[in-house]
């Protein structure tokens, strides 16, 4: 578990700025389902604080009623009261801390689950433009920042405020003049704290950024160590590391310096406050204006008074970074889901509905083609704000049709738009113009579940999920036995101890490339799809595995409507129809012989790709 | 101390002495603050410097460890030693030492003053100290344990997200959204449970420690009160005693924490030392480096066998013998696992090569400096690894200071230049996680440009053009071969690419089973013939009328 996955070095900039109330309100709405728990936590907090405030007062009573008059009367009782208040305080503290963390964790769980669910429904283009690392940061550290806010921020801020108010009230009640003396250092202390905290916050942020940089460099050079060695760049890598290491050390030393001023500084203020209190208090005790016990109680309260003040500026910091995180989280939650997850719009009619029964289509053609592209234009969605016209069209008026049971092979140079056709057929993106029809129905009119059941997709890179072979195949559908048989998975799995229950490892890493391909074939067959969409792997494997894959492919494609981006000659040759893509258009269609005879683009491609020496 | 004086006085009589004592107190507080500042700064900064040196030393050592070390040590493990363990050492040396020294000083001084006030009371107040130290130490351990578990389930959750996001197209295509949500939710719940038990522990600790400290205060209150009433203690002494006791409450708690820091830092240093104890790659040449032998082949491999060791994987290479003349281009074919990549790694001496097996221009490479071997040989490996840095830094990786013109020239030989020039910042474009991502073919061409710029006389291409189309592949070959002094050994799965070779070596299960020109091998009707004809079978059938 400790392998690598703990390390993510994405650091989003935390901008210092004010507090957005709308954001805060939305955040607070997640607390609504936990009203009961919040009430318990608040009750625990208030009672706990009250109990803790009783302590010094009891000490005052002991001094004034027992020690000063030198009598034991009621002393044991008072001390028992002290202990009871203490026990109560700690009990409530425990209750409060525990409840708060449950609230925090539940909210986090809810947000995380909601966010993950949303992510599943975002358009593929979102994942195209968002690096995996950033998506992960949203779900992990951004959510953790919210947890900080709820667990240690919100409730303990209420606690701090309650403590401050409570102590102030008691102090003023006991002796107003001494209370004012106690408060005298406050403005200077607050100024000092605020001033230094600003530097500390900034230095802290900078230090974390430098650390992230250092660790990212480290990780990269450990995973790429073979390259470093092959090019004899150990020295240079070391220098690069040293530079980042020095930067980090300099920043952490700067932070240490700030803290070295901060902690003793705050203590100095507290000492000055105590000294002032003693001075004024001493005079008043001598004058008989206050009792000695009151003075001692004041000293005790003063100590409890300064702690929450130190915290409050931290709380503000937590709140700010939590709001920044929640803004990013809400951005994900507010990203529009892919249109196929929305209910079908009843009113919208596909523009070609009228063309359905167009004249000229005789009874012979009454069966609509399984796959039909009609003048499809498409460009990949780019960053927001870019003008539609300025984007580069990847498909420019693609039209073709495949009858049921036919295999179509798409060939063409890199970048001609082959894979795009498959992406559109799976409705990973919305087309800009034209229409795509499956069995005569506009793809936008087919409910998502039905569309998904209809089509099986095999990616170029045979991606497997961690788990067993069986789990991977069953992710595709229920027909396990037939699928593993047809794809040739059964044969190699049988040789293993675990058989189909063999774990494939992370990304299927325990299987060879060829085996992964076969498993991904089996997955696509497990649902017995009406249409198979296959992006043939380009990465070459050894000829024996190649032979197996070809064999499996042949079986899979026969008699099934399939559209294949083909790289293998055997696949191309066995196709019923070859679509030659060139610069976003289907330029030639036909069988292998026909196309070769035409001596067009296909002929050129073919000689390049498969030419003899 | 000052407080003691003040209170003793303030109770009976005398206003002036109060003022004097208060002034003393402010003075001492300032001095205390000043010393704390200096002490803190001195110790923590020193510890930071030590941490920096340690990290530097570990990196420069690790980067020089043999590749076999990285084979058996997962990246996560290396990372964790260089991040978590180094931090643990810093925590020991910095905050740990600081707190220890601070605690020791507080204890010695406070106890001295407390004992001066009342020995009995001091002993009574110390009764709970061992319990507090023990509790906080146990808590530290429990916290650490729970924290680790929580981190593990966090890692599991991360892995689940990563897998999901990487495979999002499949999730959508197969309608697996619900299944994925369920999977994610269960990892989330596990993390939730770990966090709850973590906070249970910490809430219990805070409650317990507060209670213990309070009980301590109550004991002092009871006994001290009794002593004052009996006249064995002054009121001021009593108050001062309480103040000293309060001063000790934090150091007492901290002591448990410090003990944990020392334990953890110690074992972290032990783990770091394990790394430092691994021997670095033998770098230097033998005392008298071998000389070039005139007329010797550029590269000669004699009876080279190799195994990776462990896990009964057997020998990866068995008795390999062949040679390359200067300027020759030789192809290497064989199934996956036949030993091609191993052979390439050995030619670079990425793994130890037995003496007397590999010769560069007649010199035994095991007698040469590693840098000399690796500068003479440039490898483009199967997996196109690039750093998330600028294109210039990547292509010029083999050079100390990459030159833009040279980099562009190498890029144009690798047929990558046009695409670079279309990028927003040209060669200064950052690639990788923080920049734009390159396609598989672009990555491969970038790594070829990198190898060309490094300028080794022997170029090794380990299936390095698999994601590049054949037309571009042919163009790149033309460019590569335009330098006549360059010797090329390349492996491929594309049989048609072998047409340019002077000779072809056929590997099977770690042995060279056939070698010769295409025609010679073809007429042998052996392994090569099989490999070739299987790939060409379909085409030949087609060629027939």
What's the token pair of residue A472? Answer: 């991977």
A530: nearest Cα among A426, A456, A447: A456
Residue A410: the pLDDT is: 92
Question: How far is residue B4's CA from residue B15's CA, in Å, rounded to a whole number?
Answer: 15
| Contact between A421 and A534 (Cβ < 8 Å) | no
Residues of chain A with pLDDT > 70, as a percent, come to 87
Strand bridging mode B299-306 / B358-360: antiparallel
pLDDT at B2 over 50: no
Q: What is the mean pLDDT of chain A?
A: 81
Residues of B in contact with A4 (CB under 8 A): 74-76, 79
User: Which is more confident, A381 or A37?
Assistant: A37
Order of strands, edge to edge, in the sheet holding A371-378? A395-402, A371-378, A433-438, A441-442
Q: Which of residues 475-514 of A touch B (CB under 8 A)?
A: 475-477, 506-507, 512-514
**Which of B208, B221, B232, B234 is the best mutation test for A, with the most CBs of A within 10 A?**
B221
Helix (H, G, I), strand (E, B) or coil at A600: coil
Q: Which of residues 227-266 of B touch A (CB under 8 A)?
A: 228-229, 231, 235, 238-239, 242-243, 246
Residue A139 DSSP class: I
Residues of chain B with pLDDT > 70, as a percent, come to 91
Number of Cβ within 10 Å of residue A357's Cβ equals 7
- Does A105 touch chain B if contact means CB atoms closer than 8 Å? yes
User: Could you tell me which residues come within 8 angstroms of residue B369 by beta carbon, excluding any fewer than 6 positions away?
Assistant: B283, B284, B285, B289
CB contact under 8 A, A222 and B22: no
Residues of A in contact with B246 (CB under 8 A): 303
* CA-based nearest distance B344→chain A, Å: 11
| Contact between A323 and A19 (Cβ < 8 Å) | yes
φ/ψ of A122, rounded to 5, equals -80, 155
- Does A219 touch chain B if contact means CB atoms closer than 8 Å? yes
Helix (H) or strand (E) holding B76: helix B75-80
- How much is the average pLDDT of B52-57? 90
What's the token pair of residue B131? Answer: 């319990």
* CA-based nearest distance B319→chain A, Å: 23
Find the length of chain B.
545
User: Could you tell me which residues come within 8 angstroms of residue A613 by beta carbon, excluding any fewer than 6 positions away?
Assistant: B496, B498, B499, B518
User: Which is more confident, B42 or A3?
Assistant: B42
| Contact between A472 and A523 (Cβ < 8 Å) | yes
Q: What is the sign of the dihedral through the CA atoms of B505, B506, B512 and B514? A: negative
- pLDDT tens for residues B124-176? 888 888 888 888 888 888 888 888 888 888 878 888 888 888 888 888 888 88
- pLDDT tens for residues B199-228? 888 888 888 888 888 888 888 888 888 888
A281: nearest Cα among B225, B6, B23: B6
Question: How far is residue A562's CA from residue A560's CA, in Å, rounded to a whole number?
Answer: 6
What's the token pair of residue A457? Answer: 């997709």
Question: How far is residue B503's CA from residue B518's CA, in Å, rounded to a whole number?
Answer: 7
Question: How far is residue B515's CA from residue B512's CA, in Å, rounded to a whole number?
Answer: 7
| Contact between A396 and A419 (Cβ < 8 Å) | no
What's the token pair of residue A542? Answer: 């050894």
- How much is the average pLDDT of A66-88? 83
- How much is the average pLDDT of A56-63? 83
| Contact between B479 and B417 (Cβ < 8 Å) | no
| Contact between A54 and A85 (Cβ < 8 Å) | yes
pTM for this prediction = 0.71
CB contact under 8 A, B26 and A271: yes
Among A108, A116, A260, select the one facing B181 at the smallest CB separation. Answer: A116
Q: Which residue of A has its CA nearest to B459?
A: A230
Question: How far is residue B500's CA from residue B491's CA, in Å, rounded to a whole number?
Answer: 12
Residue B489 DSSP class: E
Residue A414: the pLDDT is: 66
Residues of A in contact with B163 (CB under 8 A): 465-466, 506-507
CB contact under 8 A, A236 and B400: yes
- Does B74 touch chain A if contact means CB atoms closer than 8 Å? yes
**Tokens 């929305």 belong to which residue?**
A342
Question: Could you tell me the CA-to-CA distances from A300 to A81, A273, B186, B249 in Å, in that order?
Answer: 17, 12, 48, 14
**Residue A441 bridge partners (DSSP):** A438
**Residue A378 bridge partners (DSSP):** A395
CB contact under 8 A, B79 and A105: no
Cα torsion A243, A246, A250, A256 to 10°: value is 150
| Contact between B429 and B437 (Cβ < 8 Å) | no
**Tokens 């309070």 belong to which residue?**
B214
- pLDDT tens for residues A184-239? 888 888 888 888 888 888 888 888 888 888 888 888 888 888 888 888 888 888 89
Question: How far is residue A171's CA from residue A165's CA, in Å, rounded to a whole number?
Answer: 10
What's the token pair of residue B108? Answer: 């010695």
Residues of B in contact with A265 (CB under 8 A): 33
Among B44, B60, B433, select the one facing A133 at the smallest CB separation. Answer: B433
Among A5, A229, A234, select the one facing B159 at the smallest CB separation. Answer: A5
CB contact under 8 A, A452 and B163: no
Among A67, A285, A286, select the one facing B228 at the smallest CB separation. Answer: A67
Among B22, B184, B211, select the one facing A86 at the smallest CB separation. Answer: B211
Q: Which of residues 378-407 of B touch A (CB under 8 A)?
A: 378-379, 381, 385, 387-388, 397-398, 400
Question: How far is residue A392's CA from residue B327's CA, in Å, rounded to a whole number?
Answer: 44
Q: Which of residues 349-388 of A touch B (CB under 8 A)?
A: none
Q: Which residue of A has its CA nearest to B213?
A: A86
Residues of A in contact with B520 (CB under 8 A): none
* CA-based nearest distance B130→chain A, Å: 20
B134: nearest Cα among B244, B246, B257: B257
CB contact under 8 A, B196 and A101: yes
ipTM score: 0.81
Question: Of B161-175, B359-373, B467-481, where does the model show the most confidence?
Answer: B359-373
Confidence of residue A1 (pLDDT cuts 50, 70, 90): very low
Number of Cβ within 10 Å of residue A546's Cβ equals 20
CB contact under 8 A, B211 and A87: yes
Among A98, A542, A610, select the one facing B200 at the smallest CB separation. Answer: A98
* CA-based nearest distance A357→chain B, Å: 31
Residues of A in contact with B340 (CB under 8 A): none
- Does B64 touch chain A if contact means CB atoms closer than 8 Å? yes
Q: Which of residues 421-440 of B touch A (CB under 8 A)?
A: 433, 437, 440
**Which of B10, B149, B187 is the best mutation test for A, with the most CBs of A within 10 A?**
B10
Query: What radius of gyration, in Å, describes the C-alpha atoms of chain A?
Result: 36
- Does A97 touch chain B if contact means CB atoms closer than 8 Å? yes
Question: How far is residue B51's CA from residue B170's CA, in Å, rounded to a whole number?
Answer: 45
- Does B163 touch chain A if contact means CB atoms closer than 8 Å? yes
- pLDDT tens for residues A564-598? 988 777 788 888 999 998 888 888 899 888 888 88
- pLDDT tens for residues B299-323? 999 999 988 765 445 678 889 999 9
Confidence of residue A49 (pLDDT cuts 50, 70, 90): confident
């Amino acid at each position: 578990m400790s392998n690598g996955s703990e390390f993510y070095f994405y650091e989003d900039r935390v901008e210092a700025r004010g507090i957005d109330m709308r954001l805060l309100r939305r955040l607070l709405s997640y607390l609504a389902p936990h009203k009961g728990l919040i009430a318990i936590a608040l009750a625990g907090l208030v009672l706990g604080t009250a109990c803790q405030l009783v302590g010094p007062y009891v000490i005052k009573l002991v001094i004034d009623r027992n020690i000063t008059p030198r009598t034991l009367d009621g002393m044991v009782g008072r001390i028992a009261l002290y202990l009871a208040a203490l026990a109560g305080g700690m009990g409530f503290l425990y209750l409060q801390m525990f409840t708060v963390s449950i609230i925090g964790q539940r909210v986090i769980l809810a947000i995380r689950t909601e966010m993950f669910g949303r992510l599943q429904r975002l358009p593929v283009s979102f994942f195209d433009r968002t690096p995996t690392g950033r998506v992960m940061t949203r779900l992990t550290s951004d959510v953790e920042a919210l947890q900080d806010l709820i667990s240690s921020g919100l409730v303990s801020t209420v606690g701090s405020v309650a403590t401050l108010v409570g102590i102030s009230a008691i102090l003023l009640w006991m002796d107003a003049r001494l209370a004012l003396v106690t408060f005298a250092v406050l403005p200077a202390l607050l100024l000092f704290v605020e001033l230094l905290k600003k530097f500390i916050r900034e230095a802290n942020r900078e230090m974390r950024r430098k650390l992230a940089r250092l660790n990212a460099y480290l990780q990269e050079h450990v995973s790429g160590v073979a390259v470093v060695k092959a090019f004899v760049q150990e020295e240079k890598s070391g220098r690069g590391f040293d530079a980042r290491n020095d930067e980090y050390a300099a920043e952490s030393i700067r932070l240490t310096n700030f803290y070295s001023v901060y902690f003793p500084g705050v203590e100095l203020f507290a000492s000055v406050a105590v000294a002032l209190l003693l001075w004024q208090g001493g005079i008043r005790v001598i004058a008989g204006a206050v009792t000695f016990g009151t003075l001692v109680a004041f000293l005790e309260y003063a100590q409890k008074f300064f702690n929450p003040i130190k915290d409050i500026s931290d709380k503000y910091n937590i709140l700010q970074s939590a709001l920044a995180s929640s803004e990013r989280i809400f951005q994900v939650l507010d990203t529009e889901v892919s249109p196929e997850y929305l209910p079908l719009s009843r009113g919208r009619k596909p523009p070609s509905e009228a063309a359905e029964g167009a004249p000229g289509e005789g009874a012979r053609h009454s069966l609509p083609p399984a796959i039909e592209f009609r003048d499809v234009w498409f460009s990949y969605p780019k960053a927001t704000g870019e003008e539609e016209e300025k984007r580069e069209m990847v498909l420019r008026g693609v039209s073709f049709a495949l009858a049921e049971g036919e295999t179509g092979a798409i060939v063409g140079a890199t970048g001609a738009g082959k894979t795009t056709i498959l992406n559109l057929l799976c409705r990973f993106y919305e087309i800009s113009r034209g229409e795509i029809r499956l069995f005569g129905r506009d793809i936008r009119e087919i409910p998502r579940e039905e569309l998904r059941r209809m089509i099986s997709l095999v990616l170029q890179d045979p991606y497997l999920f961690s788990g067993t072979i069986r789990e991977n195949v069953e992710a595709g559908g229920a027909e396990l036995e037939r699928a593993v048989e047809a794809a040739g998975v059964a044969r190699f799995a049988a040789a293993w101890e675990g058989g189909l229950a063999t774990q494939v490892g992370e990304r299927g890493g325990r299987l060879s490339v060829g085996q992964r391909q076969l498993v991904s074939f089996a997955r696509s067959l497990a649902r017995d799809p009406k249409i198979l969409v296959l992006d043939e792997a380009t990465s070459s494997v050894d000829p024996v595995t190649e032979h197996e894959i070809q064999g499996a492919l042949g079986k899979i494609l026969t008699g099934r409507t399939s559209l294949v981006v083909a790289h293998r000659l055997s696949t191309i040759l066995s196709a019923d129809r070859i679509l030659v893509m060139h610069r976003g258009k289907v330029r030639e269609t036909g069988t292998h012989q026909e196309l070769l005879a035409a001596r067009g683009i296909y002929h050129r491609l073919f000689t390049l790709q498969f030419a003899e020496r | 101390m000052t407080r003691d004086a003040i209170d003793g006085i303030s109770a009976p009589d005398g206003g002036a002495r109060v003022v004097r004592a208060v002034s003393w107190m402010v003075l001492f507080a300032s001095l205390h603050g000043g010393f704390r500042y200096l002490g803190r700064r001195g110790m923590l900064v020193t510890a930071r410097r030590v941490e920096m040196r340690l990290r530097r030393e570990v990196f420069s050592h690790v980067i020089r460890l043999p590749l076999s070390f990285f084979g058996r040590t997962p990246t996560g493990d290396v990372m964790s030693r260089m991040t978590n363990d180094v931090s643990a050492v810093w925590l020991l040396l910095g905050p740990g030492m600081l707190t220890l020294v601070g605690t020791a000083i507080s204890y010695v001084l406070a106890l001295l003053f407390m004992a001066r006030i009342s020995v009995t009371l001091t002993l009574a107040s110390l009764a709970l100290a061992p319990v507090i130290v023990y509790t906080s130490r146990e808590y530290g351990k429990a916290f650490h344990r729970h924290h680790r578990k929580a981190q593990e389930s966090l890692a599991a959750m991360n892995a689940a997200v990563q897998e999901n996001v990487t495979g999002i197209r499949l999730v959508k295509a197969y309608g697996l959204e619900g299944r994925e949500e369920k999977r994610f939710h269960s990892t989330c719940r596990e993390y939730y449970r770990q966090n709850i038990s973590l906070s249970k522990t910490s809430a219990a600790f805070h409650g317990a420690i507060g209670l213990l400290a309070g009980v301590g205060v109550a004991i002092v209150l009871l006994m001290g009160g009794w002593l004052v009433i009996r006249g064995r203690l002054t009121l001021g002494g009593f108050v001062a005693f309480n103040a000293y006791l309060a001063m000790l409450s934090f150091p007492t708690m901290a002591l448990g924490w410090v003990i944990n820091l020392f334990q953890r830092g110690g074992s972290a240093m032990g783990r770091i030392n394990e790394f430092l104890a691994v021997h670095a790659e033998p770098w230097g040449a033998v005392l008298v480096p071998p000389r070039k032998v005139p007329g010797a082949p550029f590269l000669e491999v004699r009876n080279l066998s190799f195994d990776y060791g462990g896990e009964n994987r057997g020998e990866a290479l068995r008795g390999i013998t062949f040679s390359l003349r200067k300027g020759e281009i030789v192809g290497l074919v064989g199934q996956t696992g036949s030993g091609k990549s191993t052979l390439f790694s050995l030619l670079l001496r990425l793994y130890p090569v037995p003496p007397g097996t590999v010769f560069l221009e007649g010199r035994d490479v095991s007698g040469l400096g590693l840098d000399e071997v690796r500068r003479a040989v440039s490898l483009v490996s199967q997996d196109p690894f690039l750093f998330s840095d600028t294109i210039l830094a990547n292509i010029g990786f083999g050079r100390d200071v990459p030159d833009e013109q040279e980099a562009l020239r190498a890029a144009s030989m690798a047929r990558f230049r046009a695409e670079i020039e279309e990028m927003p910042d040209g060669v200064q474009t950052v690639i990788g996680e923080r920049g734009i991502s390159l396609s598989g073919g672009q990555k491969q061409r970038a790594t070829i440009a990198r190898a060309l710029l490094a300028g080794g006389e022997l170029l090794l291409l380990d299936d390095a053009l698999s994601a590049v189309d054949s037309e571009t592949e042919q163009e790149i070959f033309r460019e590569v071969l335009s330098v006549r002094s360059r010797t090329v050994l390349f492996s491929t799965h594309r049989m048609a690419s072998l047409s340019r070779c002077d000779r072809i070596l056929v590997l099977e299960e770690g042995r060279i089973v056939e070698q010769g020109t295409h025609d010679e091998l073809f007429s042998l009707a052996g392994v090569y013939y099989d490999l070739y004809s299987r790939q060409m079978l379909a085409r030949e059938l087609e060629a027939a009328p």
